[in-house]
Amino acid sequence: MSTSIDQNVLNKANAWLQGNYDEETKASIRNMMENDPQELVESFYRSLEFGTGGLRGIMGVGSNRMNKYTVGAATQGFANYLKKSFPHIDQLKVAIACDPRNNSPYFSQITADVFSANGIKVYLFDEMRPTPELSFAIRHFGCQGGIVVTASHNPKEYNGYKAYWNDGAQLIPPHDKNVINEVNKITDVADIKFEKNPELIEIIGKEIDEIYLEKLMALSLSPDAIERQKDFKIVYTPIHGTGAKLVPAILKKFGFKQVYTVEEQNVPDGNFPTVKSPNPEEPAALEMAINKAKAVNADLVMATDPDADRVGIAVRRDDEFILLNGNQTASILIYYLLRKWKENGKLTGNEYIIKTIVTSELLIDIADKYEVEHFDVLTGFKWIADIIRKNEGKKTFIGGGEESYGYMIGDFVRDKDAVASCAMIAEAAAWAADQGIGFYDLLLDIYTEFGFYKESLISIVRKGKAGAEEIQQIMASFRKQPPLTLNNSKVVMIKDYQLRVEKNLVTGESKKIILPKSNVLQFFTEDGSKVSVRPSGTEPKIKFYFGVKAPLDSKIDFEFVESQLEGRIEGIIKDLGV
């Protein structure tokens, strides 16, 4: 056995066998050693680390799995770091929430136990809650940190652990690496304090829901339009997740009277029995909701992922429903926000929006029209929150988003917020209906004004240790031999966020990228196309983002121009060999 398994893996597994772990865990390790060496490798070849979404992995036994001990070690390391970071605060505080996944309540209780055992006050939600409400609770209670136990939209065998700082945002450097360093110092399970202090754990619930919902109400920009369109029909599904708690409630508070839910998907269930994947990016995840919308003659369908930080939508066009991608929804939201802020006399010249580098450039065009400043940041809402933190008290954040169906409006939450997004998407749809146009036609009007931006995404899944190595090899190959042309258009600029260098291939000039280091490559062509390549920080994937643009003189030309743009994307994909 020892000759076929990496010695490092064996050393880690044996350390668990000899350590103070429960007998069930040890029995599982012995079984892998005897019967499933490949699973042993996958379970122990590395330790889980914080990526763009924190700690995330398959549930099971081992250092590379989500279990009592990896969660406990992460919490102990985080507790140690909080104590070092806030030495002058007598009573450190954290907030904890979880989604409906299998083991989520268990992991959140383990997290609460370890924090309390370390003398840290814990605000623990009584049951599942949306991730954005956890971010809000951190700020509301003046906490130094927080945790939400969730694997977002990952398959059912996954769970995760998102760590937050005192501003309600996910950890960024140096905090993320420093927490990992603290976790790595825990070499013995005996270093983890599992014995809880019940006096330091306070259960919270509905009272925070109400405060959070009132904050969301203040975002509304067109209450008069909603009043006139109060019977605008909406179908919503939480896909068995936390959105069931608050999305229907906020839609009702906003004034919508005809909100329908998909009853089968209202039931919290970590097995997500009605969908192949609880991911609102996947058309199949919205299938039941669209069928319901057809049955009740609704105009808007919205679906949130299990922790309710992302939302996918479908809109009626004639007798069919069209799924919008994340770039399209983000564009409509930003357009609506900026237009209404201007119409309502709220723009002072000191406002800004934020998007990620892989999100549509259309958002920049819209911001430029309304003379609103924009920022481009790395993928992940922690970077959007970082810009808000740096501009606190100086400038006003209106909204922001990323192509992967995450949006944020206002700054009282510091992570993507599908509860707020559902409310504002519904309001934008009602506002459009009040002007006699459908939501999809609003998108076409935006394309006609600013240009037709067409985006596409390909994700290549490569699981496990071998997959991770293959993904790194793909990135290395593109760095060593970048494409010279894409779809017969010259590559004129390359941005390498790992080297933090932007190179103009026409002039030969290079300049520094003023963003943190990240393993991302971007290629820009002569005809205005943009290709981004990046390994996912939360899943075993490498992602290719494609963006092309052309003028759209009239709505009647939409299908023709779309066909042309699709052809350009297909040509780029072929040239990249994806």
And the tokens for 205? 């619930």
The closest of 424, 397, 206, 237 to 312, measured between CA atoms, is: 237
Taking the C-alpha atoms of residue 446 and residue 329, their distance in angstroms, rounded to an integer, is 12
Please say whether the beta carbons of 409 and 435 come within 8 A. Answer: no
The closest of 532, 525, 465 to 498, measured between CA atoms, is: 532
* Mean per-residue pLDDT, 412-431: 98
pLDDT digits (tens, 9 = 90+) for 506-557: 999 999 999 999 999 999 999 999 999 999 876 789 999 999 999 999 999 9
Q: Is the pLDDT of residue 2 over 70?
A: no
pLDDT at res. 3: 43
pLDDT digits (tens, 9 = 90+) for 276-287: 999 999 999 999
User: Which amino acid belongs to residue 563?
Assistant: S
Other beta carbons within 10 angstroms of residue 472's beta carbon come to 14
Q: How much of the chain, in percent, has pLDDT values that exceed 70?
A: 98
The closest of 486, 527, 524, 528 to 505, measured between CA atoms, is: 524
Beta partners for 56? 160
Q: Which domains does the chain have, with CATH numbers?
A: 1-45 (no CATH), 64-204 (3.40.120.10), 212-449 (3.40.120.10), 452-576 (3.30.310)
Confidence bin at 1 (pLDDT 50/70/90): very low
Backbone phi, then psi, for 310, in 5-degree steps? -130, 150
pLDDT digits (tens, 9 = 90+) for 227-243: 999 999 999 999 999 99
Q: Is the pLDDT of residue 51 over 90?
A: no
Q: Helices 131-141 & 206-217, crossing angle to 10 degrees?
A: 100
* Mean per-residue pLDDT, 1-16: 81
In the sheet that holds 258-261, the strands lie side by side as 258-261, 233-237, 300-304, 311-317, 320-324
pLDDT at res. 54: 67
Q: Is the pLDDT of residue 449 over 60?
A: yes
Catalytic (active site) residue 152: yes
Pairing of strands 406-409, 320-324: unpaired
pLDDT digits (tens, 9 = 90+) for 365-401: 999 999 999 999 999 899 999 999 999 999 999 999 9
What Cα–Cα distance (Å) separates residue 482 from each residue in 325, 430, 487, 494, 512?
Answer: 28, 46, 14, 9, 19
Taking the C-alpha atoms of residue 44 and residue 191, their distance in angstroms, rounded to an integer, is 20
Please say whether the beta carbons of 353 and 360 come within 8 A. Answer: no
Q: Tell me the pTM.
A: 0.94
pLDDT digits (tens, 9 = 90+) for 180-230: 889 889 888 999 999 999 999 999 999 999 999 999 999 999 999 999 999
pLDDT at res. 50: 63
**H or E element that contains 35:** helix 23-35
* Residue of 135, 152, 404, 421 marked catalytic: 152
Q: Three-class SS of residue 443?
A: helix
Computed over every residue of the chain, the mean pLDDT equals: 95
The closest of 16, 25, 24 to 47, measured between CA atoms, is: 16
Confidence bin at 48 (pLDDT 50/70/90): confident
And the tokens for 79? 């507790």
Taking the C-alpha atoms of residue 130 and residue 424, their distance in angstroms, rounded to an integer, is 17
